[in-house]
Amino acid sequence: EPEVTQTPSHQVTQMGQEVILRCVPISNHLYFYWYRQILGQKVEFLVSFYNNEISEKSEIFDDQFSVERPDGSNFTLKIRSTKLEDSAMYFCASSAEAGGSYNEQFFGPGTRLTVL
């Protein structure tokens, strides 16, 4: 069964450093998402991406964040200068369609980001 994969599973970084979290969505999917979950808290939407551009982003997704689909398979989340409060589990998701009755999103296993 096709699945979303994410690398690395755990990333430790120093405050102020740049990190890139990588995701390989399901191959025929067109819509891509990043969510995050701070330990013990809710899953929060960060950004959605379609047709090589951001379609929606949350207040969390400020200028320190960016997303890219550098080739036909990868989808990345970059945090330019990490802060302690960026420590969280980051989930990538993809879907074949979007909106209405087609909002079945497939989530990856997550990358645990720890900022020291």
Partner 1 sequence: DAKTTQPPSMDCAEGRAANLPCNHSTISGNEYVYWYRQIHSQGPQYIIHGLKNNETNEMASLIITEDRKSSTLILPHATLRDTAVYYCIVSGSYNTDKLIFGTGTRLQVFP
69 to 98, contacts with partner 1 by CB under 8 A?
89, 91, 93, 95, 98
Q: Which is nearer to partner 1, 76 or 109 (CB)?
A: 109
Q: Does 108 bind partner 1 (CB under 8 A)?
A: yes
Q: Does 24 bind partner 1 (CB under 8 A)?
A: no
- Return contacts of 101-107, CB within 8 angstroms, 24+ apart: 105/31, 105/33, 106/3, 106/4, 106/25, 106/26, 106/29, 107/4, 107/35
Q: Does 109 bind partner 1 (CB under 8 A)?
A: yes
Q: How far apart are CA 53 and CA 51, in angstroms?
A: 6
Residue 108 near residue 57 (C-beta atoms within 8 A): no
Compose the 39-68 pattern: x for residues touching partner 1 by CB under 8 A, - for all others: ---xxxx--x------xx-x----------
Q: Which is nearer to partner 1, 31 or 75 (CB)?
A: 31
